[in-house]
């Protein structure tokens, strides 16, 4: 628990400092663009949440090294290798001048570093034809870079609402920690838990109040961490299905692939352009945006935050079978197909104004809570 508690406390305190010192750096770090298709906040908010998480993991790595544990090497190498991805995203958070292509390139550099320094490489996929490719060093390198950059970009794409991507990453890391524990890999278990602690240290200030945002630095670094831990788990333990890590990341990865398909073939627009009809955006617009209650900034922020739990449940829908069948590639493949069908079905029902009843039931509960809260604030509790 030392890894988890230390990373949580450090990340919590550093993030709190970032929030309270916003007057000093807000002119650079704050997200003041309130007009974009995925902008739902009411005022400028710091978007450098990755600083606290990186600091939390760095302190843990230093503490473990000081105690003389062999586990310090992996943590330090993960931070060193992830530095290009984190730095590129953080520079974008401050300057708003780093293009998505350059951020992906920096993430690819991080993947290459991890490939050579800690042997985080994909050499087996259980996919006919692809295994022949990854059996070569060049093929393994290309596959590894593509997966790491893709997962990092996917985590960034689902970073649309308070608590959404951070809690999903927490759940993914917990799934990795569970399976790592099952196969007796103490090192990966501990660093997965350290990652959970660091993310939760950010989460408490991000959800539901939205006092700080993850930013590109935080999103790309978390995506890198998730991808690398998943790759290392599969590379170290042949008994773990090569599709396990992909199943764990099903929600953000499928969101990305579906968005590319939707933009390229349905809307005929460049896949790299941001838009406002991701699944999480649709849930907000069709369910939460017009929920009854006050229209002040605080109430609107609360309703925006209530979008995230819908997607947490979708994420859990992919994680549950992953931890149940982590050693079975056929079951992983079947569950991935099932997840894709559920996702597409849910998306098209919402986009056609045929939202499932259970989602409306949750919205009605939120509406009722909002009414009660409004009555209390006006001195007339119901």
What would the pLDDT profile of 191-229 be if each residue is shown by its tens digit?
999 999 999 999 999 998 889 999 999 999 999 999 999
Q: Are 119 and 235 in contact (CB under 8 A)?
A: yes
Tell me what pLDDT residue 369 has: 47
* Position with higher pLDDT, 290 vs 132: 132
Distance CA 4, CA 195 (A): 7
Q: At a CB cut-off of 8 Å and minimum separation 6, what does 380 contact? A: none
Q: Are 321 and 247 in contact (CB under 8 A)?
A: yes
Mean pLDDT for the stretch of residues 104-125: 96
Tell me what pLDDT residue 292 has: 44
Tell me what pLDDT residue 351 has: 74
Domains of the chain by residue range:
2-377
Distance CA 203, CA 229 (A): 21
Tell me what pLDDT residue 161 has: 86
* Position with higher pLDDT, 17 vs 23: 17
Q: Which two tokens stand for residue 215?
A: 């930013």
* Position with higher pLDDT, 266 vs 197: 197
Q: Which two tokens stand for residue 114?
A: 């991890």
Give the pLDDT confidence of 293-352 residue by residue, as tens digits: 555 556 666 667 788 888 999 999 999 999 999 999 999 999 999 999 999 988 888 877
Distance CA 177, CA 302 (A): 31
Sign of CA dihedral 255, 122, 128, 183: negative
Distance CA 251, CA 357 (A): 22
Distance CA 305, CA 208 (A): 5
C-alpha 233: how far from chain center? 19
* Position with higher pLDDT, 361 vs 307: 307
**Percentage of the chain surpassing pLDDT 70?**
81
Tell me what pLDDT residue 382 has: 42
Tell me what pLDDT residue 377 has: 47
Distance CA 249, CA 171 (A): 10
Distance CA 156, CA 160 (A): 8
Of residues 169, 166, 193, 170, the one with CA closest to residue 180: 193
Mean pLDDT for the stretch of residues 260-282: 72
* Position with higher pLDDT, 203 vs 275: 203
Mean pLDDT for the stretch of residues 125-135: 89
Of residues 219, 231, 285, the one with CA closest to residue 256: 219
Give the pLDDT confidence of 36-55 residue by residue, as tens digits: 545 555 567 899 999 999 99
* Position with higher pLDDT, 266 vs 361: 266
Place of tokens 């569950």: 335
**Percentage of the chain surpassing pLDDT 90?**
62
Peptide bond into 368 cis (omega under 30): no
Tell me what pLDDT residue 37 has: 47
Average pLDDT for the chain: 86
Distance CA 373, CA 380 (A): 10
Tell me what pLDDT residue 363 has: 52
Rg (C-alpha) for the chain, rounded Å, is: 21
Tell me what pLDDT residue 283 has: 78
pLDDT tier for residue 367 given thresholds of 50, 70 and 90: low
C-alpha 139: how far from chain center? 27
Q: Are 75 and 194 in contact (CB under 8 A)?
A: yes
Q: Are 341 and 314 in contact (CB under 8 A)?
A: no
DSSP assignments along 311-356, one per residue: HHHHHHHHHHHHHHSTT-HHHHHHHHHHHHHHHHHHHHHHHTT---
């Amino acid at each position: 628990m030392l890894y988890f508690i230390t990373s949580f406390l450090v990340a919590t305190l550093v993030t709190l400092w970032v929030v309270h010192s916003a007057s000093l750096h807000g002119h650079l770090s704050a997200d003041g663009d309130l007009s974009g298709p995925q902008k739902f906040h009411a005022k400028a908010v710091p978007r450098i949440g990755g600083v606290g998480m990186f600091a939390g993991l760095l302190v843990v790595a230093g503490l473990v090294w000081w105690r003389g544990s062999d586990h310090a090497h992996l943590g330090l190498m993960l931070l060193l290798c992830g530095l290009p991805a984190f730095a590129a995203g953080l520079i974008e958070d401050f300057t708003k001048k780093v293009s998505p292509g350059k951020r992906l390139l920096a993430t690819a550099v991080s993947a290459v570093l991890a490939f050579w320094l800690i042997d985080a490489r994909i050499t087996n996929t259980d996919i006919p034809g692809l295994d022949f490719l990854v059996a070569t060093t060049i093929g393994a390198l290309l596959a590894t870079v593509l997966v790491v950059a893709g997962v990092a970009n996917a985590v960034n794409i689902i970073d649309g609402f308070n608590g959404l991507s951070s809690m999903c990453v927490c759940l993914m890391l917990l799934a990795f920690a569970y399976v790592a524990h099952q196969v007796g890999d103490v090192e990966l278990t501990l660093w997965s838990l350290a990652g959970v602690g660091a993310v939760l240290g950010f989460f408490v200030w991000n959800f539901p109040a939205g006092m700080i945002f993850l930013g590109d630095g935080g999103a790309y670094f978390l995506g890198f961490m998730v991808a690398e831990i998943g790759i290392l788990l599969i590379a170290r333990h042949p008994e773990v299905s090569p599709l396990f890590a992909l199943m764990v990341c099903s929600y953000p990865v499928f969101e990305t692939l579906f968005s590319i398909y939707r933009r390229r073939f349905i809307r005929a627009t460049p896949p790299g352009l941001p838009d406002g009809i991701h699944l999480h955006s649709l849930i907000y617009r069709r369910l939460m945006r017009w929920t009854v209650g006050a229209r002040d900034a605080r109430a609107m922020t609360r309703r925006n935050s209530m979008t995230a739990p819908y997607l947490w449940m979708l994420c859990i829908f992919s994680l549950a079978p992953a931890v149940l069948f982590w050693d079975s590639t056929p079951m992983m493949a079947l569950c991935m197909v099932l997840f894709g069908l559920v996702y597409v079905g849910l998306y098209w029902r919402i986009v056609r104004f045929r939202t499932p009843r259970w989602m409306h039931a949750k919205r009605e509960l939120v509406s009722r809570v909002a009414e009660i809260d409004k009555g209390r604030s006006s001195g007339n509790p119901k």
